Structure 1
């Protein structure tokens, strides 16, 4: 296994060698301590055809090492270009130690196209000619559309591949109005990045909704195809829980709307409060009119079992939020509020829910956000 910082200029060359049968590559984050503890580089890589080992984002817990085969990386790269309209150059503006970033590099290697670089704030976004693509998270797109110069450069791309978190309909509409072509992407490290574009699986990818064993009456997303990972690094126990041959059993709930997959939330987003199942994703959808960036959390509570808490960036009180969510059942209406702008993000641009939970649990004077409770 070859360990390289994600910012190392040799990463592209090392990945090319790995895809050609060389040693698998593990891109490291700026602080590599957790990744090294997970990777245990002195232990051999036992998975056949391993090319890449990437860490999950860790937004809801300890990161895991996802082993991707050459077949998975190449299949995902080719299927992406087939869906987007053909091979093109790519601009790398997301961290290359996560799957979204390193797959940008991989697509250029597989297609023999050019890789360009931009900072995460897109302030140095290059002018492009010919067929070009870029991968972003919603936070980047929101901020980019606020700058006319960046918006003009984004509009020159043939597609903005948007993933990592759900995109608000208002954001997609704003991008379309400004001539920015967005393709929403759903997937994970375990599927070589996004494998479902605008709700439609890529060629070679099959999606089924199967019963969730620990949630009676609930189904979860199952993804089958060559893009699926080989297993978690040195964790056969965790691998066995989610991998059945070439099928990944996710923790996501979804349904089909007009033959397009609509993600409803995580299985873990359903918490019991006051004896009632509360869907945190449904709370967030209701919260959208108060704050499109707002998130809902379930925190331990001695009376309710779980207390619903929301984290927002707007200047609303807990009473304001509760008054705006009268369509929800009483147990689903928040009994706590964290307010801070901006909310904490993981390096991939997702809301850092683990950090928010720690803030809520913090004692007086230790929470860096406004906290209100009832």
Structure 2
């Protein structure tokens, strides 16, 4: 199976949208499989032992170490596109607000090809509410309008009257790439934005669980430790050139259904929806207790309204093994970054003014071992990939 580098490495989003022929050919089986550049080492010219209808070889975000390339068949991408249309109420026109080298942006293009509609791309440069609104206007009065964003982009839309007005015109705004905080989701819904929280990864052709419910023909399974596996027609065929890792992460059951074992922990709520608790390797082991960062993050945003964004990590600690550490971005960011243990953070911030006050705010919501022991106030969080918080870089910021 031959590979072709696409999209071009330095092409603008508008240039990519203007030339979707290679993607159409790949999805139909008429052309070579496509491999976006910039995913680690240069790929080989061909892929041995690939599925006959291999369409995309896409780099993962590298959350578990070195990025890997997932082998996605045309059948998997078509299944994902049709299931998405079924879940959202039909095919429509998509606005491309993400880069075209990651699966989320590529799926916007693939869904457009499958729908027979022309996607509209944002201009080059930083994401702004004004640019998003202009792209929304260019999409015109189409039958159904969709887009896909990451949480940081959603925050920028909500912070702008222009962004809120544009967002309210969409039939669905898929939000993925990183966890969507409950308070941010509630805020978007109050403003009339029809947000859909998606969960998935490159290995599942992008989001395959919408608002906790799997897409049609997809399934969720949890093992004894709560590790999440996803099964169905959207699952990739493995990793390029990594047979051992492929065997560890992918399997085919007796019914021929492909499964991918994620690195995430989850639970099934009383209403049957999947709740992601965080990555298994992000769990904080403090004093013999396991703490899920997402639980602490949700408690902080609920108790401290001035927090715009928060990420919780574990830091080495000689007494407890790991200390729970919270990094926050306030609605009105402070100048620079300040590491705080028991000193003032921001005397004007609503909620807590120092670590001790934050711990008091959280005592009714969290057990003592889950209360933050370190606090860091930043102007913005370090990110990697499509809007994911860079926890390793953040831990280094604590010093």
Q: TM-score, normalised by structure 1?
A: 0.87
**Is 1:179 aligned to residue 192 of structure 2?**
yes
Q: Is the 8 A contact 2:129 2:162 kept in 1?
A: no
**Cα offset for 1:225?**
0.5
**Cα offset for 1:136?**
0.9
Q: 1:293 aligns with which of 309, 314, 322?
A: 309
Aligned length: 349
Aligned to 1:352: 390
**Cα offset for 1:254?**
1.9
Cα RMSD, aligned residues only: 2.0
**Cα offset for 1:156?**
1.3
Q: Is the 8 A contact 1:7 1:96 kept in 2?
A: no
Q: Distance in 2 between matches of 1:6 and 1:154?
A: 30
Q: Does the C-alpha gap of structure 1 residues 307 and 177 become closer, same or farther in structure 2, counting only changes over 3 Å? A: closer
**Cα offset for 1:115?**
0.8
Q: 1:24 aligns with which of 33, 36, 40?
A: 33
Q: Distance in 1 between matches of 2:237 and 2:272?
A: 29
- Stretches of structure 2 lacking an aligned partner (at least 5 in a row): 253-257, 331-345, 347-352
User: How do 1:246-257 and structure 2 match up within 5 A?
Assistant: 246-257=258-269
**Is 1:241 aligned to residue 245 of structure 2?**
no
Q: 2:328 aligns with which of 296, 312, 318?
A: 312
Q: 1:47 aligns with which of 14, 28, 50?
A: 50
Q: Does the C-alpha gap of structure 1 residues 62 and 337 become closer, same or farther in structure 2, counting only changes over 3 Å? A: farther
Q: Distance in 1 between matches of 2:279 and 2:24?
A: 35
**Is 1:189 aligned to residue 198 of structure 2?**
no
Q: Is the 8 A contact 1:92 1:117 kept in 2?
A: yes
Q: Is the 8 A contact 1:92 1:104 kept in 2?
A: yes
Q: Is the 8 A contact 2:222 2:228 kept in 1?
A: yes
**Is 1:2 aligned to residue 10 of structure 2?**
no
Aligned to 2:87: 83
Bigger mean CA offset, 184-193 vs 330-339: 330-339
**Is 1:229 aligned to residue 236 of structure 2?**
yes
Q: Does the C-alpha gap of structure 1 residues 243 and 284 become closer, same or farther in structure 2, counting only changes over 3 Å? A: same
Q: Is the 8 A contact 2:47 2:240 kept in 1?
A: no
Aligned to 2:23: 15
Q: Does the C-alpha gap of structure 1 residues 317 and 46 become closer, same or farther in structure 2, counting only changes over 3 Å? A: farther
Q: Does the C-alpha gap of structure 1 residues 253 and 293 become closer, same or farther in structure 2, counting only changes over 3 Å? A: same
